[in-house]
């Protein structure tokens, strides 16, 4: 693979979702000759980690896992074999993955289709249409995650949805009572639409348009000071999103990376069919609500991320840092 192709791969990888759009990754190329790249390291950039909500780096690993999967699909779309080794060096825990680039190997149609959805995927914080996500797509998303050994639980039982909604709200209350949480969140919200990191205020537009039973993370400090509606006002239409939980049997860096890879692939499968998602991770960040979620739903293993999904109306609205900031030669 030549250098221009490598830049194309990294441009696709950085479109991955990341917690607060922190983009906590670095890519390092290994050169076989002066013009031929034969491997790429994906490294954690812990200077961009979130100490308050993510002290163990669980979400950092998930974000980088998604970038690894988008990079792998971009390599495949170029028609090059790609083997991913997770955490290949026990003495270097920041080296999250080594992508070995092999011989020419034509991509499958599915790989091309998934890669083509990279620029369409985005986080939707507005309301979803009434149209339900059908069974065939649910099964495709489940299989996409299963390839990485990650399970997907769809919350179809009303009781499960209600108990999860209660825990999401409780986690939000607990986090927002901590001034350090508000401070960290504020550090990653940007006023300018063209910001190349963090969450620009325009990406939050639409968050007031839904009547959702699921409390989403409120990124703006005055978000709860919404004027009460007129008593005579017609209530907003309620939405009924698909809610699912991705989880793993273990709870260590390898499991977090695999969750991220599964998330990246699942979101591309969904985006290809016009379905978008909003992660709701607060309930997992707070240890007490995470264990209550596990107990309430009778989960065998560790929930890693909760997603609210459906047919939305938004479009990609977050920026990315320039390639020069995240790619260097080894
Ligand atoms: C591990 C992880 C956790 C996230 N948690 C939340 C969340 O709790 N609430 C939310 O609104 N978005 C959440 N997001 C979405 C990010 O904010 C989003 O990916 C980022 O701002 C980039 O925007 P994009 O997905 O539209 O490209 C999360 C993303 C990841 C990867």
Q: What would the pLDDT profile of 18-45 be if each residue is shown by its tens digit?
A: 999 999 999 999 998 888 999 999 999 9
Q: How confident is the model at residue 225 (pLDDT cuts 50, 70, 90)?
A: very low
CA distances from 301 to 139, 227, 253 (A): 21, 41, 15
Q: Which has the minimum average pLDDT: 35-39, 169-173, 225-229?
A: 225-229
**Is 60 exceeded by the pLDDT of residue 16?**
yes
Distance CA 6, CA 75 (A): 8
Q: In the chain, what are the domains?
A: 3-121 (3.40.109.10), 135-226+235-310 (3.40.109.10)
Task: Specify the residue with its C-alpha closest to ligand 1, atom 10.
Answer: 279
**Is 70 exceeded by the pLDDT of residue 13?**
yes
Q: How confident is the model at residue 206 (pLDDT cuts 50, 70, 90)?
A: low
pTM (two decimals): 0.95
Tokens of 300: 């065998």
Q: Is 59 in the pocket of ligand 1 (CB under 6 A)?
A: yes
* 308 CA from centroid of ligand 1 (Å): 12
* 35 CA from centroid of ligand 1 (Å): 36
Tokens of 19: 């917690």
Distance CA 59, CA 69 (A): 15
Q: What are the strands, taking DSSP E only, across 140-257?
A: 151-154, 189-190, 199-200, 242-248
When pLDDT is averaged across residues 151-155 and rounded to a whole number, the result is: 98
Q: Is 117 in the pocket of ligand 1 (CB under 6 A)?
A: no
> Residue 213 burial (CB < 10 Å; 0-12/13-18/19+)?
middle
Task: Specify the residue with its C-alpha closest to ligand 1, atom 6.
Answer: 279
């Amino acid at each position: 693979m030549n250098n221009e192709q490598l830049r194309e791969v990294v441009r696709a990888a950085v479109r991955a979702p990341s917690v607060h759009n922190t983009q906590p990754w670095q890519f390092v190329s290994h050169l076989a000759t002066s013009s031929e790249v034969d491997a790429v390291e994906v490294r954690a950039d812990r200077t961009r980690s979130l100490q308050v909500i993510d002290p163990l780096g669980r979400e950092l690993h998930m974000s980088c896992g998604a970038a690894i999967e988008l990079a792998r699909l971009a390599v495949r779309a170029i028609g090059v074999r790609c083997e991913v080794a997770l955490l290949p060096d026990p003495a270097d825990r920041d080296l999250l993955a080594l992508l070995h680039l092999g011989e020419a190997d034509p991509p499958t149609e599915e790989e091309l289709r998934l890669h083509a959805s990279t620029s369409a995927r985005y986080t939707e914080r507005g309301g979803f249409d009434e149209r339900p996500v059908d069974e065939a797509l649910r099964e495709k998303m489940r299989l996409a995650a299963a390839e990485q050994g990650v399970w997907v639980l769809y919350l179809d039982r009303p009781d499960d949805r209600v108990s999860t909604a209660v825990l999401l709200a409780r986690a939000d209350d607990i986090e927002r009572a901590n001034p350090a949480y508000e401070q960290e969140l504020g550090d990653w919200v940007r006023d300018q639409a063209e910001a190349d990191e963090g969450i620009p205020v325009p990406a939050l537009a639409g968050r007031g348009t839904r009547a959702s039973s699921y409390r989403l993370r409120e990124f703006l400090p005055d978000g709860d000071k919404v004027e009460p509606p007129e008593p005579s006002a017609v209530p907003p239409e309620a939405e009924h999103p698909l809610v699912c939980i991705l989880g793993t049997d273990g709870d260590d860096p390898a499991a977090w990376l695999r969750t991220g890879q599964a998330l990246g692939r699942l979101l591309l499968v969904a985006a290809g069919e016009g379905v978008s998602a909003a992660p709701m991770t607060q309930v997992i960040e707070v240890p007490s609500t995470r264990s209550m979620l596990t107990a309430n739903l009778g989960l065998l293993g560790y929930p890693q991320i909760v997603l609210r999904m459906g047919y939305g109306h938004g479009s990609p609205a977050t920026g990315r840092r320039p390639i020069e900031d995240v790619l260097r030669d080894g």
